[in-house]
């Protein structure tokens, strides 16, 4: 058994850790593995070229960009933000869970860019969350605020991650399909996307429970603060 | 008959357009990157056809093209674009159009789904409208065209504005757009080079490969571990798939490929929630929200990630060998 081609994996790990450009790292890893496996230069170039053009389906998402660009110019992002703004006045748990649901649904449609840390969490969700938390516990410490904002960012990430896998034009589904197609296993993108649904539902439930537990912890602290001041 | 090749030509045309616009604006490196990529897309079918008949030269030239892309990628800087509309205009338009703005975006998955489900039964004058290979993706390309038309109607803008805006987004994404494609190609190169076989042989020395459960656990934890190290589940996928997924789980234990691929990738996503290497998702928001600890967001995600991982693994174990 020739173990030298494994160094290609090491090239990726080291390259990513040292923050070289990922495109350069991946191509270097491919070349190193093939060289160490004893490919000649012409055979290596042919393998690289053939593997690349056989994976072209992975770039099909660029066809959605003109649509999204046009809609964003017509205010899609602003509309999504106003929509999220309407969650204003809900309790903390309902606010975060409602946002989680919207974020997951938008990601399932491929609209991952209309919400995000810069687009919605920092300007909307975090301040709205702090306002809702202050209604429960008026004496929020700085550490509490940090925890709350981190919770908002976490909710945003989880909503996005476990929604986008259900949309067939984004990387995850097509990467899986492309990998199998090159190894002689033909699958439709839908059959792969469908199996991301159970985890999407599980992620929604798990994060909702955690948000709800967090709110209950705040409520208990508020209750004990009240009994202390009463006694 | 609509074939997937048309979709590739459409992508090629869009990439070449992006390249030419950059050329005109004298962003030389960007122009070169998109023009090379567009050429690779446009000539892909010719390359594959020639390769199949034993002519390796076009594939070798494509290989050189890939290396050129890798050398150009570090030179791409994100340059600021002038927004087509100012914030006030966009807000007014958002208020006026409201939920109508979601309709064209909804059309993309909807039309794709319709083609995927019923495309095979569609005939015009005895000819199938859609070719069988990659019908879903052909449907997706068609859906994008339909949706672009709808978006132009909703936004009262000419379709060429869509091209200009799409090009702006593509330039903003830059080389990152290429990463999933390259990682899929890497999986193929790894397999051809025997990386998968080597990992499988290594795994065989310490893993009870006769146990389907042990293999599945190693696969899932390997996805998480590699994602944590590299900050990217897409990069972990070809490695783990070539090493454990394909040889041990699918070929030896008869795992269902669709479930294994989908849920295996999701295990990797749980790893993304845990790692500072995924700076865009974990470190940048912490800075944006002015948290005192850069790892605050990761701390808030740890328990969710572990529970989601445990649930996904359980589901995978229950479903994948049926």
pLDDT tens, A53-77?
998 988 888 998 999 889 988 888 8
Judging contacts by C-beta atoms under 8 Å, the chain B residues touching residue A192 are 258, 261-262
Average pLDDT for consecutive 10-residue bins of chain B (322 residues)? 91 96 93 97 94 92 97 81 71 88 88 86 84 85 94 91 91 86 86 85 85 95 91 88 91 95 96 91 91 94 97 96 88
Sign (positive/negative) of CA torsion B247, B252, B257, B263? negative
The residues in B 236-295 lying below 8 A from A, measured between CB atoms, are: 237-239, 241, 246, 250, 257-259, 261-263, 265-266, 269, 272-273, 277, 281-282, 284-286, 288-293
Nearest CA in chain B to A38: B193
- pLDDT band, very low/low/confident/very high, at A113 (cuts 50, 70, 90): confident
Q: Which tokens go with B322? A: 């049926």
Residue corresponding to tokens 């979601």: B102
pLDDT of residue B81: 55
Residue corresponding to tokens 């798939």: B241
- Of the candidates B304, B176, B257, which has an alpha carbon nearest to the alpha carbon of residue A161? B304
Residue B3 β-bridge partners: none
**Record: contact A149-B289, CB cut-off 8 A:** yes
What percentage of chain B carries pLDDT values higher than 90?
Answer: 55
The residues in A 130-169 lying below 8 A from B, measured between CB atoms, are: 142, 146-147, 149-154, 156-158, 161-162, 165, 167-169
Helix, strand, or coil here: B179? Answer: helix
Residue corresponding to tokens 């296993």: A185
- pLDDT band, very low/low/confident/very high, at A11 (cuts 50, 70, 90): very high
Alpha-carbon gap: A229 to the closest alpha carbon of chain B (Å): 30
Judging contacts by C-beta atoms under 8 Å, the chain B residues touching residue A21 are 73-74, 175
A141 vs A83, higher pLDDT = A141
With vertex at residue B262, the alpha carbon angle to CA B257 and CA B263, rounded to the nearest 5 degrees, is 105
B306 burial via Cβ count (<10 Å: 0-12, 13-18, 19+) = middle
pLDDT of residue B295: 93
Prediction pTM value: 0.86
> Closest to A210 (Cβ–Cβ): which among B145, B164, B304?
B304
Alpha-carbon gap: A230 to the closest alpha carbon of chain B (Å): 33
Mean pLDDT, residues A195-208 taken together: 96
Answer for the pair B277, A16: CB distance below 8 angstroms, yes or no: yes
For B107, the enclosing helix (H) or strand (E) is helix B102-118
Distance CA B257, CA B263 (A): 10
Distance CA B213, CA B162 (A): 50
pLDDT of residue A152: 96
Distance CA A25, CA B230 (A): 11
Judging contacts by C-beta atoms under 8 Å, the chain A residues touching residue B271 are none
With vertex at residue B176, the alpha carbon angle to CA B38 and CA A27, rounded to the nearest 5 degrees, is 75
Q: Which tokens go with A124? A: 């909307």
Residue corresponding to tokens 């691929």: B261
Distance CA A38, CA B215 (A): 29
């Amino acid at each position: 058994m020739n173990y030298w081609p494994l160094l290609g994996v090491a090239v990726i790990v080291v390259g990513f850790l040292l923050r070289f450009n990922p495109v350069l790292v991946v191509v270097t890893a491919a070349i190193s593995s093939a060289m160490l496996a004893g490919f000649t230069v012409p055979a290596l170039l042919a393998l690289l070229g053939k593997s690349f053009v056989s994976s072209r389906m992975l770039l099909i998402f660029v066809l959605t960009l003109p649509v999204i660009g046009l809609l964003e110019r017509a205010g899609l992002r602003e509309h999504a933000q106003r929509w999220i703004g309407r969650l204003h006045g809900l309790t903390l748990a309902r606010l975060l869970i409602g946002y989680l649901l919207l974020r997951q649904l938008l990601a399932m449609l491929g609209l991952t860019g209309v919400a995000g840390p810069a687009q919605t969490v920092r300007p909307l969700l975090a301040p709205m969350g702090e306002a809702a938390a202050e209604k429960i516990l008026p004496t929020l410490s700085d550490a509490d605020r940090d925890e709350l904002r981190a919770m908002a960012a976490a909710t945003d990430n989880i909503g996005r991650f476990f929604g986008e896998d259900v949309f067939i034009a984004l990387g995850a589904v097509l990467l899986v399909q492309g990998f199998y197609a090159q190894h002689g296993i033909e699958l439709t993108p839908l059959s792969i996307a469908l199996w991301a649904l159970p985890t999407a539902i599980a992620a929604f439930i798990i994060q909702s429970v955690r948000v709800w537990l967090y709110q209950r912890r705040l409520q208990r602290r508020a209750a004990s603060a009240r009994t202390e001041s009463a006694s | 008959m609509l074939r997937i090749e048309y979709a590739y030509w459409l992508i090629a045309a869009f990439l070449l357009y992006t390249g030419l616009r950059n050329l005109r604006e004298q962003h030389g490196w960007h122009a070169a990157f998109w023009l090379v990529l567009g050429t690779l897309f446009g000539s892909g079918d010719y390359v594959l056809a020639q390769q199949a008949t034993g002519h390796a030269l076009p594939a070798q030239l494509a290989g050189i093209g890939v290396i050129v892309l890798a050398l150009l990628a570090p030179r791409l800087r994100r340059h600021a674009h002038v927004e087509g509309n100012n914030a006030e205009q966009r807000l007014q338009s958002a208020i006026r159009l409201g939920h109508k703005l979601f309709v064209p975006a909804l059309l993309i998955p909807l039309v794709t789904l319709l083609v995927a489900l019923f495309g095979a039964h569609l005939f015009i004058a005895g000819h199938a409208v859609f070719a069988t290979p990659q019908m879903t993706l052909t449907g997706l390309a068609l859906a994008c065209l339909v949706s672009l038309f709808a978006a132009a109607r909703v936004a009262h803008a000419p379709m060429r504005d869509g091209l200009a805006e799409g090009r702006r987004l593509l330039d903003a994404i830059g080389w990152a757009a290429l990463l999933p494609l390259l990682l899929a190609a890497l999986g193929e190169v790894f397999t051809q080079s025997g990386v998968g076989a080597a990992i499988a042989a290594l795994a065989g020395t310490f893993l009870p490969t006769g146990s389907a459960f042990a293999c599945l656990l190693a696969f899932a934890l390997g996805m998480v571990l590699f994602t944590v190290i590299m900050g990217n589940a897409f990069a972990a996928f070809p490695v783990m798939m070539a090493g454990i997924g394909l040889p041990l789980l699918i070929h030896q234990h008869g795992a269902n490929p669709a479930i294994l691929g989908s849920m295996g990738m999701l295990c990797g996503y749980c790893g993304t929630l845990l790692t500072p290497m995924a700076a865009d998702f974990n470190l940048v928001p912490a800075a944006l929200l002015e948290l005192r600890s850069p790892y605050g967001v990761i701390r808030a995600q740890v328990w969710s990630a572990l529970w989601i991982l445990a649930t996904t693994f359980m589901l995978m174990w229950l479903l994948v060998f049926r």
